[in-house]
Amino acid sequence: MKTKQEIYTEIRKDLTDKNLKISGEDFERPWGGFFKIADESLTDFLSIYFPE
């Protein structure tokens, strides 16, 4: 089983490999955490993860 840190690292790498910029992150939540995608990468993020 992967650790939370390993999962966060994999997701961070996946996002940056897709040239998405991360403007923040918070992994201190009881339910896990999140990455905040930079405004300048929002259109690309939506195209990749929510294609029409």
For residue 19, the model assigns a pLDDT of 98
For residue 31, the model assigns a pLDDT of 85
pLDDT class of 44 with cuts at 50, 70, 90:
very high
Helix (H, G, I), strand (E, B), or coil: what is residue 33? strand
Alpha helices in 1-52 (DSSP H): 4-17, 42-49
DSSP 18: T
For residue 4, the model assigns a pLDDT of 87
For residue 32, the model assigns a pLDDT of 85
List the domain boundaries for the chain.
4-49
Q: Counting beta carbons within 10 angstroms of the beta carbon of residue 38, is it exposed (0 to 12), middle (13 to 18) or buried (19 or more)?
A: middle
Average pLDDT over residues 39-50: 97
What's the pLDDT tens digit per position in 4-39? 889 999 999 999 999 999 999 999 888 889 999 999
